[in-house]
Structure 1
């Protein structure tokens, strides 16, 4: 196993994260350790995908092959790569408009997977069904199993921590979530574990969410 325990961030251009920086800091058979956007080192096994959408295709003691948006790149130990991002740079704010029923829906992402959200102040956490959780690469059965009361009776669920929730330019990390077994809810409920970390301002049918932390 070869591991590079230091990184030289001053050799890289400063960014507002309109692009994704990937540094390979450790390599061994079947796995790679990488630093993404200056964060903590993260280990990916072959086939795994990071929340930023970076998939590790192959890894050996001297190289890693990653795939982003269908394009494969090969990196050696200590090499860095700047990848253009299709998602907007984080602005910390998003404005939603109510539909004819008064509900606020928004298209967003969980761990890079595109999903539909409904603002729900009655939900204690970000709630999604098990199919959406699998789509967002959440291994929810490693979470804490709980029973929850629904309109249709008691249902099985799992408490989890979601790596990333993105609503256009507003990004939250490490958000408490709840995964329900089955196909309900049909959309992701944006509950209070996320909303408590935002300032909510209403102006007619407009709802502006601004990140606090």
Structure 2
């Protein structure tokens, strides 16, 4: 009789061990290791969570357990592991997840193969397009004025464009930030017209970060 009781006890202990093992595995599977805000669309936001693209509406939760609490034109408020955090396009990586040793930005190509993103130039938001053929960051005169750049002391130069030779100015930008990557004292060229229509992110910035293509994505990494 005691032998039968012992066998039942062993069975109970084995069953309990299986239940406990399953219980402790659940949190490991549901904790996201990497959450990145990629775009904001009205009341929805696009994230990359553990390498998966997730378009979430306000109040919805991803399969990985990340909830979009609310969203504005400037940031997305998410909840993860019972904690809330704001993510913006300037600071898109969730800080409470595993951090990479260096800041990194991943860019998807558009239908024409161009890589575009949002930069913060001297603290102001500017749409930019990566252009490895541009010597420096290139922006048009209206954009320079909207950023409050003082061209009165800028060095005048002439540049050749698709529309011919025109007046331009060489200036230094205090800072250029993309995602978590910030570069200070960046050379830029201001053209005296409305060209280029989109600010070009040239080599005065790109040469100061590590850049590589991977599975169609363009990866930018800070050097320090």
Give the alignment's TM-score, normalised by structure 2.
0.54
- Name which one, 1 or 2, has greater alpha-carbon Rg: 2
CA shift for structure 1 position 85: 11
Q: Which has the higher strand share?
A: 1
Equivalenced residue count is 131
Contact 1:102/1:205 (<8 A) preserved: no
Output aligned runs, 1:1-150, within 5 Å.
87-88=90-91, 92-150=103-161
Contact 1:164/1:173 (<8 A) preserved: yes
Q: In structure 2, do the counterparts of structure 1 residues 136 and 85 end up closer, same or farther at CA, with 3 Å as the change threshold?
A: farther
Q: In structure 2, do the counterparts of structure 1 residues 134 and 168 end up closer, same or farther at CA, with 3 Å as the change threshold?
A: same
- Cα separation, 2, equivalents of 1:185 and 1:153: 13
1:177 paired with 2:180, answer no
Considering only aligned residues, what root-mean-square deviation do their CA atoms show, in Å?
2.3
CA shift for structure 1 position 118: 0.6
CA shift for structure 1 position 141: 3.1
1:160 paired with 2:163, answer no
Q: Which 4+ stretches in 1 moved above 6 angstroms?
A: none
Q: Once structures 1 and 2 are overlaid, which stretch shifts more, 89-98 or 144-153?
A: 89-98
CA shift for structure 1 position 100: 0.9
- Cα separation, 2, equivalents of 1:128 and 1:202: 25
Q: In structure 2, do the counterparts of structure 1 residues 85 and 112 end up closer, same or farther at CA, with 3 Å as the change threshold?
A: farther
Give the alignment's TM-score, normalised by structure 1.
0.57
Q: Deviations over 1:50-108 (max 9, x none)?
A: xxxxxxxxxxxxxxxxxxxxxxxxxxxxxxxxxx9975289632111101111000011
- Cα separation, 2, equivalents of 1:115 and 1:154: 26
- Cα separation, 2, equivalents of 1:128 and 1:165: 13
- Cα separation, 1, equivalents of 2:191 and 2:146: 14
Output aligned runs, 1:192-211, within 5 Å.
192-211=203-222
Q: In structure 2, do the counterparts of structure 1 residues 85 and 164 end up closer, same or farther at CA, with 3 Å as the change threshold?
A: farther
Q: In structure 2, do the counterparts of structure 1 residues 187 and 171 end up closer, same or farther at CA, with 3 Å as the change threshold?
A: same
- Cα separation, 1, equivalents of 2:92 and 2:127: 20
- Cα separation, 2, equivalents of 1:147 and 1:198: 28
Consecutive unaligned residues in structure 1, runs of 5 or more: 1-83
Q: Which has the higher helix share?
A: 2
- Cα separation, 2, equivalents of 1:166 and 1:129: 19
What SS class does the counterpart of residue 205 from structure 2 fall into? helix
